[in-house]
């Protein structure tokens, strides 16, 4: 019995550790992506904006499932899992808007989409961190 419990506890901590890795990978990809997009806009470097947008998109996809996100919400915020996963959907939409506007050379619109992504980051962090 004891060994079963130990095994179960072990498995649980392994799966939590994996989730932790995925979360950290996702966040650091998005952080790097946002930095590149910002540098791209500031220095008028379209390639950098494109590359950063790709990173944000991939990072966001890693951390978009409601069940995964819910693991990171404080107990009293679990009911906001839907809202938090909608924030991830908002980032995915913004990424599309940013890319399409970039293709059209509509740089102001593209940079507005970048700003909305930044606001979306904060709106999930606000839940997670009790801001």
Q: Footprint of ligand HEC on this chain (CB under 6 A)?
A: 23-24, 27, 30-31, 34, 56, 69, 72, 84, 87-88, 91, 117, 120-121, 124-125, 128-129
User: Residue 4 Cβ, how far from ligand HEC at the closest point, in Å?
Assistant: 31
3-state secondary structure of 1: coil
- CA 90 to mean position of chain CA atoms: 10
Other CB atoms within 10 A of residue 129 CB: 10
Which residue, chain included where needed, has tokens 């990809």? 29
| Whether the Cβ atoms of residue 103 and residue 51 lie closer than 8 Å to each other | no
Closer of 48 and 91 to ligand HEC (Cβ): 91
Closer of 81 and 101 to ligand HEC (Cβ): 81
User: Residue 111 Cβ, how far from ligand HEC at the closest point, in Å?
Assistant: 15
């Amino acid at each position: 019995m004891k060994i079963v419990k130990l095994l179960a506890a072990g498995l649980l901590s392994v799966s939590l550790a994996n989730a932790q890795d995925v979360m950290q990978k996702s966040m650091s990809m998005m952080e790097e992506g946002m930095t590149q997009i910002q540098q791209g806009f500031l220095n008028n470097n379209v390639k950098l904006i494109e590359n950063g947008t790709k990173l944000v998109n991939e990072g966001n996809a890693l951390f978009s499932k409601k069940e995964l996100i819910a693991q990171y919400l404080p107990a009293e915020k679990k009911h906001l899992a839907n809202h938090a996963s909608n924030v991830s959907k908002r980032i995915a939409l913004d990424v599309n808007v940013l890319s399409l506007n970039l293709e059209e050379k509509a740089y102001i619109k593209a940079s507005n989409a970048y700003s909305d992504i930044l606001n979306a980051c904060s709106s999930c962090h606000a839940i997670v961190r009790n801001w």
